[in-house]
Amino acid sequence: MLSNKLLSDNMNIWYFETSAVNEFMKGRTIQDALATKNFQLDKERDWRLSPVTLWEILMTSNESRREEIIYFCQHLFGRELLPSPAELIIPYIQQGMPKVEKVRELVSTSAIANTWRDLIDDRNKTFILDHDDLRGKIRHIQSITQDIDSIIKNEELPIASTLAFTGMDCSLSSLVNALPFVKEDGITDRRELLTYKVSLYYIMLILCAEAELENEVIKDFWSEKKIDSTIDRVHYVVENLSTLVHRGPFIAMSLMTISQTSGKYSRGVWFDSMHSIYMTYVDKLFTCDGHFEG
C-alpha cells in the first residue's frame, strides 16, 4: 500500500469527486459555501478538487448549470488542485514504484490548475474554452475505454483492434503473460488475471498512448527516454515497469472499473476510475457513489 497522505504540512486534505460536489450544493447558497470554507480552514482541513473533477464539471452540457457549479466551487474549495492523474503516475514511477512513496507536496502544476488559481483569486472570472472541443476529446477517450467492457466480459482483445495500437500483433492476455512477475509466479486466479489485464490496458492507454487531458508530464517522461512509438512504449512497460501493473495508481483504477461493470457499460466509469486514484493520497474522499466503498 502507498502512504495515506503525501503532503508536507499539517493540513488535512478532503477530496470531493463530482457527485459529492453536486450533492453538497443542494439547498446551499454562496454564503453557505464561504462560511463552510472558512470553518474547514480553521479546523486545518483543505477541501480540494482535482483536474478530474473539473473536467467532469466542464462536461456539463447545460451552460447555466455549469457556470453555477463552477461559481459555487470557487467559493467552497481550495486554491490548489490535487495533481492530475499523470502528475501522480509519473512521480510514482520515478520513485521506483514503492510500496510507500516519499513525502511530496500534492499540488498540480497543470494548465487547468493554473487557470483554477486565477479563478479563485478573481471569482468574477470563469473558464474560457471550447466546451464542444473538450467534450469531444473526453468522449473520444471514453469511447476507447469501452474495450475494457469486452475485457471484463472475458472476450479476448486483439491489441491491434484499438486504433492507438495498430500494428501490434498480439493479445492482451499474451502481454500479461509476458510480464516478469507473472512468468515467475504464474496466475491461477481468474479474477487476479482480469485485474491485471484491465490495469495493463489502462497503462497502455494513459501512459503509452497519452490518453489523458493533462499529458505534458507523460510526454516529458517519454521524451527523456527517447521512446516515441506507442508500441515501443508498451514493450518498455512490459520489460521494465511490470510492477506498475499490480501496485500503484493503475491497479486502483482497475479495481474500480471491474466493480462497476457488472451491468451495462457506462461512460462515467472512466471518470470514476480516475477519481479512485486519489483514495491513496487524501485523508477523506467524499462521494455519493457506493462503488468507492469497496
Q: Are both 146 and 274 inside the same structural domain?
A: yes
Q: Are both 80 and 119 inside the same structural domain?
A: yes
Is 146 within the bounds of a domain? yes
Domain count, the chain: 2
Given 133, 159, 177, which residue is the final one in a domain? 133
Q: Are both 179 and 104 inside the same structural domain?
A: no
Q: Are both 90 and 143 inside the same structural domain?
A: no
Q: Are both 157 and 180 inside the same structural domain?
A: yes
Q: Are both 121 and 149 inside the same structural domain?
A: no
Q: Are both 184 and 248 inside the same structural domain?
A: yes
pLDDT digits (tens, 9 = 90+) for 16-63: 999 999 999 999 999 999 999 999 999 999 999 999 999 999 989 899
Is 2 within the bounds of a domain? no
Containing domain of residue 77, as a range?
12-133
Q: Are both 127 and 220 inside the same structural domain?
A: no
Q: Are both 122 and 193 inside the same structural domain?
A: no
Is 161 within the bounds of a domain? yes
Residuewise pLDDT in 10s, the chain (294 residues): 344 445 445 689 999 999 999 999 999 999 999 999 999 999 999 999 999 999 999 989 899 999 999 999 999 999 999 999 999 999 999 999 999 998 888 999 999 999 999 999 999 999 987 777 777 777 777 776 677 777 777 666 666 555 455 555 567 888 898 899 998 887 778 888 889 999 999 999 999 999 888 899 999 999 999 999 998 999 999 999 999 999 999 999 999 988 876 656 566 788 889 999 999 999 999 998 765 655
Q: Does pTM top 0.85 for this prediction? A: yes
Q: Are both 267 and 141 inside the same structural domain?
A: yes
Return the HEC string of the chain.
Answer: CCCCCCCCCCCEEEEECHHHHHHHHCCCCHHHHHHHHHHHHHCCEEEECCHHHHHHHHCCCCHHHHHHHHHHHHHHCCCCCCCCHHHHHHHHHHCCCCCCCCCCCCCCCCHHHHHHHHHHHCCCCCCCCCHHHHHHHHHHHHHHHCHHHHHHCCCCCEHHHCHHHCCCCCEHHHHHHCCHHHHHHCCCCHHHHHHHHHHHHHHHHHHHCCCCCCCHHHHHHHHHHCCCCHHHHHHHHHHHCCHHHHCCHHHHHHHHHHHHCCCCCCCHHHHHHHHHHHHHCCCEEECCCHHHHC
